Structure 1
């Protein structure tokens, strides 16, 4: 079979997969999969594994101790590959969502006015399903210009504490990485993202009766209030730096000087060099006692690296854009303030393109949606981009 015939077969088969894609998506969305629900995330992984087995795609499991396992599905390349052609082409996605247990029961998958709804429908179970079917198409018809790897991780929404080393190891041997986060609402892909650091600030004061022994107390909440003001003052929108104290807690009772308090901090930045500067300032704020006698500890709980576009990634984007145009899609690159695993792959030098998944929006909310009509064309665009990879010089 000629390469043109192989491509035609892949595209024609994908064009017939709309309903099977939607069926797979419905089953996946209706399965619990919050980041801290390992059993649920692994149940979604079992759906991926069953699909791959049905299409004769080998799957390796990298167990997670606390969070969802990582699955690594592989499709061999054509024979006779050499040099860079032997490096893996990675299709990446995460199975976990941000929603609490029971959310699929409360609002199960549905389609209304051309949009699919449900927890995680676009972020990013739609992208997972798309990757599964693209892998199956190449397994069925051949034509892969290098080994294909489908990497299905389980803890992205909490910073990939266990998935990150697996992702980075895969990226170091990758020729290119396509991360199937949802396409932007206008249909664009993402060529740059902010980095993010998620930290917890714990403050210790001293309890005392707020009426009978007020002067003996040291208020951790009073300290927290002043620290929040200092933390928010680090925001510099002109540089793309934002600090947000999104969660606070503390105190013992209304009539007790607060012996403890806690703040959870979201820090975002664009330039990798800004990370150390802002973290240094955060640590300095933590070390400063605005209320004498308080003590504070700042702990980093998770982080994402920024997605930056080097010349190789720019060529990957141009190749994808041309492939999308052949599919009838007009696609541009966008910068996004949100973080993703694509930052890890870019940071170790793998040419990376993000948000090549089906188009959707309003992620992390009850209104999250996926444009049903984007499913097949985005799968075809990805398949074409893979088939055209050699033309990018990668």
Structure 2
């Protein structure tokens, strides 16, 4: 049986699961190691407000579980790409599109040329994707556009390429593609890549064993999407992602949750925490 609705898998179900797991430990005497439940509301836009809190709690953490939705396969996530959200604002010069067309400098034309260049970056940097997801601009249909803006989503796998990718995005933004126009670009939010370390592998193995005890066969997989788990992993905290209930078609009208996975996934997490507690 499935539940449907916006965010039902990504990631309301994971939040509900975490709340019940924490409540269970509280009801049965707590844990020898402190358990911290962190609920944030701005992950989809790069966690600009919650990042300092995530970093504060992640610093020195024994381990981190992120309840993003379990993959359709039932697997958890052991690796993710990094991502950066940019906003580019372009200024041009307004002019009447008929009488004084030559006096104008179109910010929209400048943006169009930049979009083509940004979208071509994966040819230079394999394993990356760039997406211009929002565009706005102009004053009226009969006016040369004096302004334009867009938001850019960059995804990458190799942390060593981060600075070069930022430089390439910024170089395209600041290059004068239409005479008389200028542009400014800034970072709105960022996710770090998540890579499996030896410590994270041991955490994964503990989870797999605990999941097997409740009848779940779970593997690990790499995903091209980003999450806050990249932040804690980058800080050195062993991190496992997508421990939430299984669901699919996130960010679409058809998003769904596999209801039958709620209790088993909660049990798998609780058993893992109990093992860590015993070892701690």
Q: Of 108, 128, 137, which aligns to 1:221? A: 108
Give 2:41's aligned residue.
Answer: 154
CA deviation after TM superposition for structure 1 residue 257, in Å: 1.2
Separation in 2 of the partners of 1:237 and 1:341? Answer: 27
3-state DSSP of counterpart to 1:360: strand
Give 1:248's aligned residue.
Answer: 135
Stretches of structure 1 lacking an aligned partner (at least 5 in a row): 1-113
Give 2:90's aligned residue.
Answer: 203
CA deviation after TM superposition for structure 1 residue 145, in Å: 4.3
Give 1:329's aligned residue.
Answer: 216
Aligned residues: 280
CA distance 1:376–1:246, change in 2 (3 Å): same
Structure having greater relative contact order (Cα 8 Å, sep ≥ 6)? 2
Compute the TM-score of the two structures, normalised by the length of structure 1: 0.69
Confirm or deny that 1:257 pairs with 2:144: yes
| 1:164-313 alignment, distance < 5 Å | 164-236=51-123, 239-313=126-200
Give 2:203's aligned residue.
Answer: 316
CA deviation after TM superposition for structure 1 residue 288, in Å: 0.8
3-state DSSP of counterpart to 1:243: strand
3-state DSSP of counterpart to 2:164: helix
Stretches of structure 2 lacking an aligned partner (at least 5 in a row): none
Confirm or deny that 1:349 pairs with 2:203: no
3-state DSSP of counterpart to 2:185: strand
Compute the TM-score of the two structures, normalised by the length of structure 2: 0.95
| 1:92-111 alignment, distance < 5 Å | none
Separation in 2 of the partners of 1:388 and 1:319? Answer: 8
CA deviation after TM superposition for structure 1 residue 357, in Å: 0.6
CA deviation after TM superposition for structure 1 residue 140, in Å: 1.8
Q: Deviation above 6 Å: which 4+ runs of structure 1?
A: none
CA distance 1:153–1:306, change in 2 (3 Å): same
Separation in 1 of the partners of 2:102 and 2:124? Answer: 41
CA deviation after TM superposition for structure 1 residue 236, in Å: 4.1
Q: Is the Cα contact below 8 Å between 2:31 and 2:277 reproduced in 1?
A: no
List per-residue Cα deviations over 1:339-367 (Å, max 9, x = no partner).
Answer: 11111111111100000011111111121
Separation in 1 of the partners of 2:125 and 2:88? Answer: 26
Give 1:377's aligned residue.
Answer: 264
